[in-house]
């Protein structure tokens, strides 16, 4: 196995925003008279916005104003971020610095709109590490379809099999694996089940451990 590039998800992997997103959505839904459960939230992670809207209307009815709700959830998230900053996941800066020093190509493959991703990662001094960036918001089929990883690998000029992809969510793992990437799961809110275990090359506890995994597969 020869790894020439690394492709990273963002939310829940590089930055600890999944919990903030859940808390913000719970707050907004509660204000609208609905209770969003953790199980329901886990079902939408890494999905493109149209798919999230379908899920929410399934949860709360066709009259649920998802567009307004999702916009409000970003307002609530940013209130927290303005006060405390964007929370970075353990080892995010280390793995990107190591990859750059090793001359590996680095891409971002996120479901978050790129303007928001750039804002968050720039605030942490991480944005400049990425050679290419791809948002699922800008392609036809978002995660768990393989499109965003296929696009990210193509931007790097590599085949997916030459890329190690890092994901925290089940839908993200399905996306990277079906694209043909060497997929590593770094669980955030939930770990790999029997299905996901068959799709991944490895599961590691954090990005520091992921850095060691890269080193071991470069030797």
Task: Kindly tell me the sign of the dihedral angle through the C-alpha atoms of 88, 94, 97, 99.
Answer: negative
SS3 of residue 149 by DSSP: helix
Q: At which residue do the structure tokens 């000029």 appear? A: 157
Asked whether the bond before 144 is cis by omega within 30 degrees of 0, the reply is: yes
What is the separation, in whole angstroms, between the first and last Cα of the chain? 10
Dig out the tokens for 131 from the structure.
């050679």
Rounded CA-CA distance 167/7 in Å is: 9
**Cα–Cα distance for residue pair 27/76, rounded to 1 Å:** 8
Q: Judge whether 63 counts as a catalytic residue.
A: no
Given the residues 9, 28, 168, 188, the one annotated as active site = 9
Neighbouring residues of 179: CB distance < 8 A, sequence distance ≥ 6: 146, 147, 149, 150, 153, 160, 165
Phi, psi of 125 (to 5 degrees): 75, 25
Q: Whose CA is closest to 13, among 122, 139, 173, 180?
A: 173
Write out the catalytic residue numbers: 9
């Amino acid at each position: 196995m020869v790894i020439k590039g690394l492709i990273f998800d963002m939310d829940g992997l590089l930055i600890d925003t999944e919990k903030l997103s859940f808390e913000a959505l719970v707050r907004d839904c509660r204000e609208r008279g609905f209770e969003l459960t953790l199980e329901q939230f886990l079902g939408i992670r890494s999905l493109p916005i149209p798919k999230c809207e379908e899920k929410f209307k399934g949860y709360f009815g066709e009259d649920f104003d998802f567009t307004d709700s999702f916009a409000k959830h970003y307002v609530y998230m940013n209130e927290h971020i303005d006060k405390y900053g964007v929370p970075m996941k353990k080892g995010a800066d280390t793995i990107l610095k190591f990859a750059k020093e090793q001359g590996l190509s680095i891409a971002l493959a996120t479901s978050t709109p790129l303007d928001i991703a750039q804002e968050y990662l720039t605030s942490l001094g991480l944005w400049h590490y990425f050679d290419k960036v791809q948002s699922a918001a800008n392609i036809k089929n978002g995660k768990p379809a393989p499109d965003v990883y296929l696009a990210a690998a193509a931007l790097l000029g590599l085949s997916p099999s030459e890329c190690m992809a890092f994901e925290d969510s089940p839908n993200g793992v399905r996306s990277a694996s079906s694209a043909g990437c060497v997929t590593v799961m770094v669980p955030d809110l939930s770990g790999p089940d029997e299905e996901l275990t068959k799709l991944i090359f490895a599961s590691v506890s954090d990005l520091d451990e992921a850095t060691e995994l890269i080193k071991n597969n470069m030797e």
